[in-house]
Amino acid sequence: MKAVLGIIGGSGVYDLPGLEDLREERITSPWGEPSDALRFGRIGPTEVVFLPRHGRGHRLAPGDIDYRANIDALKRAGVTDLVSISACGSYRESLPPGRFVLVDQFVDRTTRRESSFFGAGCVAHVSMAHPVGPRLQERIAAAAHAEGIEVHRGGTYVCMEGPQFSSRAESLSYRAAGYDVIGMTNMPEAKLAREAEITYATIAMVTDYDCWHPDHEAVEVSDVIAVVKANAGKAARLVARLARDFPAEHEPCPVKSDRALEHAIMTSPDARDPAILAKLDAVAGRVLSRHRA
Ligand SMILES: CSC[C@H]1O[C@H](OP(=O)(O)O)[C@H](O)[C@@H]1O
Ligand SMILES: Nc1ncnc2[nH]cnc12
């Protein structure tokens, strides 16, 4: 399978410099409205598809993003490997603003988001034991190393509902729980990518110390955006190197993110709702077409 690299830009990242042969296309999805038109292009030999998660001009709050439409649209665009660039707060003194963290675990504390493509009419359960593709993460780390960009490998990203930042008590409890960074967007994004058999990884860009730190009173959006802007060049270099060095063929994922639906669908073929199956054409086409045969 040909590799297509998807990039989701988070807060402050509304375009991707260096995309050649750029074209934009609004992909329609049966799941809803994607955050923006997809931007298709090439970096070196690699096909790249870019989507700004909050839409151009940051129109969408974390809880208003249609994560299902975004992932479905990226799947329709042929994306096999998806990298999220996300601003986050830090729970570690050793992860200061400006540091990139390649997280490998997520905790979902969101409360009012559609977090699955499956449900009544077609039930499926995929594994989220290892939500990040280790080989994709390895490639990001190698690209960072080649560019002289310091990254921290590993860590847990807790995803809160927002849009308000945490209270001090919440911040202290997340830190005590052992989480490393906090944001508002990587869940359900990572879950949906897994259901769509897209390999997912996050470059979490630390922008603040949340509000647990004795020397940092409270998070301010202006501080977050100042850090993102100061590090945007580094992020662009990292993505460009990742894309230039990306293999032409999608590499099989060691945690089977690209085969997540292989044994996941519970509903027997004769009990499946044809209307739901029609919506699942892109996300689950690989396995559903086989079952129909
Ligand atoms: C602007 S601060 C809060 C905002 O930033 C992060 O977004 P993203 O993950 O898309 O970079 C955080 O999750 C909040 O949505
Ligand atoms: N402290 C924080 N909490 C939640 N989301 C964030 N995004 C950036 N900083 C954040």
Is the predicted pLDDT of residue 21 greater than 60, yes or no? yes
DSSP state of 117: S
Q: How far is the CA of 208 from the centre of ligand 1 (A)?
A: 11
Q: How far is the CA of 11 from the centre of ligand 1 (A)?
A: 5
Per-residue pLDDT of 163-219, as tens digits, reads 999 999 999 999 999 999 999 999 999 999 999 999 999 999 999 999 999 988 899
The reply to whether 54 sits in an annotated binding site is: yes
Q: How far is CA 81 from CA 49, 124, 147, 200, in A?
A: 10, 22, 21, 6
On the 0-12 / 13-18 / 19+ scale of CB atoms within 10 A, 52 is buried
Q: Where are the domains of the chain?
A: 4-292
Per-residue pLDDT of 218-237, as tens digits, reads 999 999 999 999 999 999 99
CATH of 4-292, one of 3.40.50.1580, 3.10.20.600, 3.30.930.10, 3.40.50.970: 3.40.50.1580
39-55: average pLDDT: 98
User: Computed over its alpha carbons, how large is the radius of gyration of the chain?
Assistant: 18
Structure tokens at 102: 């390649």
Sort strands 199-208 and 100-102 into parallel, antiparallel or unpaired: antiparallel
Provide long-range contacts, Cβ within 8 A and 24+ apart, for 52-55: 52/8, 52/9, 52/13, 52/14, 52/15, 53/8, 53/9, 53/10, 53/84, 53/185, 53/189, 54/10, 54/11, 54/14
The reply to whether 209 sits in an annotated binding site is: yes
- Mind telling me the catalytic residues? 208, 210
Q: How far is CA 255 from CA 133, 134, 259, in A?
A: 7, 8, 9
Rounded to 10 degrees, the C-alpha dihedral 225/191/154/201 comes to: -70
Q: Which residues contact 93 (CB under 8 A, 6 or more apart)?
A: 213
110-120: average pLDDT: 98
Instruction: Give the whole-angstrom CA distance, residue 30 versus residue 267.
Output: 21
Ligand 2: residue whose CA is nearest its atom 2: 89
Instruction: Give the whole-angstrom CA distance, residue 85 versus residue 227.
Output: 13
Q: What is the ipTM of this complex?
A: 0.99
Residue 291: per-residue pLDDT: 53
Structure tokens at 104: 């490998």
Q: How far is the CA of 168 from the centre of ligand 1 (A)?
A: 18
What ligand 2 atom has the least distance to the C-alpha of 162?
A: 4
Structure tokens at 179: 């989480």
Pocket test for ligand 2, best of 101, 210, 223 (most atoms within 8 A of CB): 210
Between helices 67-76 and 186-195, what is the axis angle to 10°? Answer: 40
Instruction: Give the whole-angstrom CA distance, residue 177 versus residue 287.
Output: 38
Residue 217: per-residue pLDDT: 85
142-160: average pLDDT: 98
Q: Which of 200, 125, 199, 216 is nearest to 157 (CA)?
A: 200
Is the predicted pLDDT of residue 33 greater than 50, yes or no? yes
Mean pLDDT of the residues in the chain = 97
Residue 292: per-residue pLDDT: 55
- Work out the pLDDT band at 19, boundaries 50, 70, 90: very high
Q: Which 3 state secondary structure label does DSSP give 2?
A: strand
